[in-house]
Each structure stands twice: as structure tokens, then as C-alpha cells.
Amino acid sequence: MMFMGLDGGGTKVECALVTDQGELVGRTLGGAVNTNFSPVDAVMASFQQVIRQALHQAGSDGSDVAAVVVGSPTKREVLGEILTRCLPRAQRLCLGEGCLALAAGDVMGQGVSVISGTGSLAYGQSHQGFQVSVGGWGSLLGDEGSGYAIGVEALRAVCRAADGRIPATGLCECVKAWAGVGRIRELSRVVYGPPMASRTEIAALARLVSDVAEAGDRVAEGILDTAGRQLADQAHTVIRRLSLQDVRGLHVVAAGGVLRNSRFVYQAFSEGLRVFGATAHVHHALVSPALGAAAIALERRGFHGERLRLMAAQSGTHQA
């Protein structure tokens, strides 16, 4: 018997396939699967690719997959069609990305997760069964503290630096290289197009901002500090709405590529929670959300020890 976890968003989708012994037997990556920003045909192709490749790695035709847990902003009807095609016999459970992130931090009960990838969101659940989500509004309405938001702020910063409104910043050379231009004045052509720069392309700037900040650039550091504090605000809102302010050692799981790869964002996030007065235990996710989804599938079928075995074996193996 096997269990599958799927996690996808605006940048990629990951599939994890595990046995009822807690052994990882298939793990694959594919393209973006957010139907708000990617064509349905492309989303379906990405899902089918990762599912079929993972099954191939495990030597399975899919008939022995008992359950699949999915976390993705993909439209439910699209997900349903994909799973019917690829895993017609499997029990299905669609959960929010925040729930998967908690499981990836080895939290099955009360806790809070904050995700910062291409987009951002915060999620929490209490022992009483209450659930709260904050953020996740997309790039026009929210996504504060996300890779996309950091990328946009970097683009704005180099434009202000070119005007002389803020001090010179090392971001200018990095952004020119990213855009393939010789002058910042040419940047608008690349960003506005046609074709317009994609959310994923702009979010990729977050890594460059972190690199520049590591070199001591104050402008880059300021952008990342603001992002971390915005994520802390989302987490604190979840904590307040669930009335968990007085829970000492409350697990807060930091997930997503931005929180994982930028020490500046993670530090500002952790410090921001302390400023808000939260007495939380902040820590990184131990595994990828797809493995978290597979862990949920195991736990819900009663394979508690096998879930723990999976988490112990795979901790620290999540991919960027």
C-alpha cells in the first residue's frame, strides 16, 4: 500500500510517494500549477508528469495508491479531473497549503505556519478544531513578504536609486544582469513587455536580493527586513484570531523558499513575532510540503509510527 502527497503553487509542483512502512519511493518536480496564473492545459500536464514519474520510480501503476493528499491553489474541478485520470482508486483529500506546511514541520495538532514562496500566507489551527488563514490574496491584493513582493521592491529600489532618490545600491548591477539591459532606464521595457515579466521571474529576484544583502548592502537588507516583519504580522494575526497569544512554546513553522533561503527574512520574521509579544517556538519546516502531505496521509490511515519514521529519515531533504 502506498500514499501520495502533492504540493503545488505558482512556481512548481512536487510529488512524494511513500509506502505504508514510511519509506520514500518516488519524488518528482514539475512546473507551475496555479490556475490563476497558468493555463489549465499546462497545469494538468505538470500534475500528470510528476504523478506518472513518481509512480514509475516506484514501479507502480497507481492501483496500490490508497490515498492522495493535495495542497494547491489549483481549481478543484481541475484537480478532480487530474486525479481521476491518474489515480482513480485513491481516496482524495484536498487541504490548504498552510496545513501541509504545518505537517512539514512535524506539527499535526495546534500550531501556525507561514509560507513565503512566490506568494505568501499564514495559517493556524487550534486544539479545539478552529482554523484561520491570513493572506494568500495574490500579487495584486496582497502577498506581502513573498518572493514576488521582494522582487517588486528590488525593482522599485533600483529605479529610485537611478533617480537619485535613495543611495546607490548593489541591486542595480544585479537587476541589470537579470533583465539583460545596460541601463536601468531600459528596465521598464523588460518588466512591462510585451511580454510582461512573469510573477515567477520577478520572484526569482528574491535570491539576488539576499545575495546583495549578504554583501552588506543596506537597501537590500531593508527590503528583506520589511518582508520578514510583514510575514510576522500575518502570523501574529492568526495567533490573535485563534486566541493563542498565551500559549507558551506554540509551534510556528516557517516554510517556503524565501524563509528557508534568506537568513535576513527569517531573522526579521522571528524578531517581529517577539515584538508582537508572541511566546512562540519558531522553526523551519523539516521536510517539503509534499512530504508533509504524504505524512498526513499516513497519519490519517493510522500509520503513526510510520509517519514518524518518514519524518526522521527525510528531515532536511526538502528541495529549494
Average pLDDT over the chain reads: 94
pLDDT of residue 275: 80
pLDDT of residue 319: 52
Categorise residue 133: left if φ over 0, alpha if ψ from -120 to 50, beta otherwise: beta
Residue 320, pLDDT above cutoff 90: no
Write the DSSP string, 45-58: HHHHHHHHHHHHHH
SS3 90: coil
pLDDT of residue 36: 85
| Domain ranges for the chain | 2-106+287-314, 107-285
Q: Which residue, among 17, 56, 49, 52, has the nearest Cα to 32 in the 3D structure? A: 49
Binning pLDDT at 50, 70 and 90, where does residue 202 land?
A: very high
Report the pLDDT averaged over residues 179-195.
93
pLDDT of residue 314: 92
User: Which parts of the chain fold into alpha helices (H)?
Assistant: 40-58, 76-86, 97-104, 147-163, 171-179, 187-192, 199-203, 205-214, 218-241, 257-261, 263-275, 289-300, 304-314
Contact 32, 61 (CB under 8 A): no
pLDDT of residue 215: 96
pLDDT of residue 95: 94
Q: Are strands 2-8 and 65-71 parallel, antiparallel or unpaired?
A: parallel
Ranges 13-22, 84-93, 206-215, 277-286: which has the least confidence: 277-286
Exposure of 68 in the CB half-sphere (CA atoms within 13 A): 28
pLDDT of residue 317: 66
**Radius of gyration of the chain from its Cα atoms, rounded to whole angstroms:** 20
How many of the other CB atoms lie within 10 Å of CB of 274? 12
CATH of 107-285, one of 1.20.1080.10, 3.30.420.40, 3.90.1170.50, 3.40.50.2020: 3.30.420.40
Contact 318, 254 (CB under 8 A): no
pLDDT of residue 11: 82
**How far apart are alpha carbons 9 and 97 in whole angstroms?**
9
> Tell me: the pLDDT tens digits for 300-314?
999 999 999 999 999
> Tell me: the pLDDT tens digits for 64-120?
999 999 999 899 999 999 999 999 999 999 999 999 999 999 999 999 999 999 999
pLDDT of residue 47: 96
C-alpha grid cell for residue 306? 510510520
* Vertex 43 angle, CA 207 and 124, to 5°: 60
Q: What's the CATH architecture for 2-106+287-314?
A: 2-Layer Sandwich (3.30)
Same fold, 2-106+287-314 and 107-285: yes
> Tell me: the pLDDT tens digits for 254-286?
999 999 999 999 999 999 998 877 678 999 999
Q: With a threshold of 0.75, does the pTM exceed it?
A: yes
| E strand or H helix at 94 | strand 91-95
Residue 318, pLDDT above cutoff 70: no
Q: In the sheet where 120-125 sits, what is the strand order? A: 131-135, 120-125, 111-116, 250-255, 280-284
For 114, 139, 150, 154, 248, the CA distances from 260, given in Å and listed in that order, are 11, 20, 15, 19, 24
